[in-house]
Structure 1
């Protein structure tokens, strides 16, 4: 039979599945590199201070390194967030 939701063990694992999250350079003039180590597939988003998603990237379990291009975004503070977790990093685009 199909399980309609995650088990308690899966929920506990999801709560701490992000091992590392680094964003650089910070401040950025637009392009930023995100280094991320997760124990399961995840979605990483770049959101502005109004909560609008400016960029989104699907990542797989393990080490990931990718670029968010914010060169076309207004200057300001953005948040790089791993969906489903409390983990986030602020980045200034100037």
Structure 2
């Protein structure tokens, strides 16, 4: 899975996805849907910082990241019919800015 995601980052972001950016990566067949306990078929890569650090100085960081994630999900779902892919209807996520 790591190699799969790193390939996307290499292809689209030339190896570095800046904090505050996000991308939705479709999972490879061996881990998509029934291959995982959450029936997930996509993964969002959304870094909040370059390296773990105190982010209390940026009070809006997590808010902005969450807003951009919701916008990206809306774009994905609007284009899903035309691009013949499943819509994302549920999001499972870890903490942001932690």
**TM bin (shorter chain):** under 0.3
Instruction: Please give the TM-score of this superposition, normalised by the length of structure 1.
Output: 0.25
Say which structure is richer in strand. 1
Instruction: Please give the TM-score of this superposition, normalised by the length of structure 2.
Output: 0.25
- Structure with more contact order per residue of length (Cα contacts < 8 Å, sep ≥ 6): 1
